[in-house]
Structure 1
Amino acid sequence: MTITENNDPNNLIGRPNGYVDAAVLYDSTTTCPDLGSDCGAMVEVWPTPEAAQQRANYIATLQQASPILGTEYHHVRGRVLLRVTGDVKPSLNAEYSKAFAESGS
């Protein structure tokens, strides 16, 4: 599902210091309580590679400080951040990671 300013769970799309494009990937091995990475994965496109990495670092820091927020796997390629819910098995995350890396080829 494409994220728009009307359904963005993070209220970041198109805003200053926000991402410029995003989409949610639904994975049948997860539940989807709210629109976002909990549904399986979320792809965020940032203005710069540095901004994508900063976002990944920020989320990781929040989740380390507050485990109640859950976990995510983060994969950054250029301006794109792939956020995979930590609810999926590591082997499935590895498949996401491989597909993400190959999609840039």
Structure 2
Amino acid sequence: MKKALLISTVLFTLAACSGENSAKAPAPVAASASVEVAKVAPPAPEMKLIEDTQHITDQLKTIPTLGKVVIYTEDTDPNNLLGRPGQYVGKLNFGDTRYKDKKAEDFATIEIFKTEAERDARHDYVDNVTKGTPFFMYQYKHENLLMRLPHEMTPTQAKEYEAALNRM
């Protein structure tokens, strides 16, 4: 009796699972309006804030020809922009021993910004002011830093400083 009941249950289950279904599924309804799925762009990676002027100086020291480094404060910044709204929050200038006739204060600079937009605005400003003049400068951006090097440097020398900047 148990065997007959088991066989009946199996046969009933097989019949229920067969593809023959007397009830038909309703036909799909065509959509009258187009549907647009908004894709969310992945968030941009956050910019790493580098604010430690000693760390920046240590990275520059990997260049054997690095000269004097001058770190500015609000009181000593020659441009009077340090800490002002939309301007850099840190600044240091440095020299290179291959250019003995240039003082560090007048040679190269790294400015530190709070945002990428502020850094880019300063980059664009300097680029517009120096474009087409003999005062052309190399400009390199890394994270929140903007480094400017004088046109007297060769491209190979400028690449040394760019590499140091990118290690920061």
State the TM-score bracket (shorter-chain normalisation).
Answer: 0.7 to 0.9
Partner of 1:27: 96
What pairs with 1:53-92 in structure 2 (closer than 5 Å)?
53-64=120-131, 67-68=133-134, 70-92=135-157
Mapped partners of 1:22, 1:5: distance in 2: 10
Aligned-residue identity in percent = 27
- Which residue type is aligned with residue 12 of structure 1? L
Q: Any runs of at least 4 consecutive aligned residues in structure 1 with deviations exceeding 2 A, and if so which?
A: 29-35
Instruction: Point out the structure with max Rg over C-alpha.
Output: 2
CA drift at 1:62: 0.6
1:16 corresponds to which of 82, 85, 103: 85
Any idea what the Cα deviations from partners look like across 1:30-62, whole Å, max 9, x if unmatched?
333582xx32x2110012011111111110111
The answer on 1:42 being equivalent to 2:109 is yes
Q: Structure 2, unaligned stretches of length 5 or more? A: 1-69
Which segments of 5 or more consecutive residues in structure 1 lack a partner in the other structure? none
Matching of residue 100 in structure 1 with residue 165 in structure 2:
yes
Q: Deviations over 1:7-30 (max 9, x none)?
A: 212111011221101111111223
**CA shift for structure 1 position 6:** 2.3
Distance in 1, Cα, partners of 2:144 & 2:126: 16
Q: One-letter code of the match for 1:16?
A: P
With the length of structure 1 as denominator, give the TM-score of the two structures.
Answer: 0.82
Aligned-residue CA RMSD (Å): 1.7
- Conserved in 2, the CA contact under 8 Å of 1:52 and 1:78? no
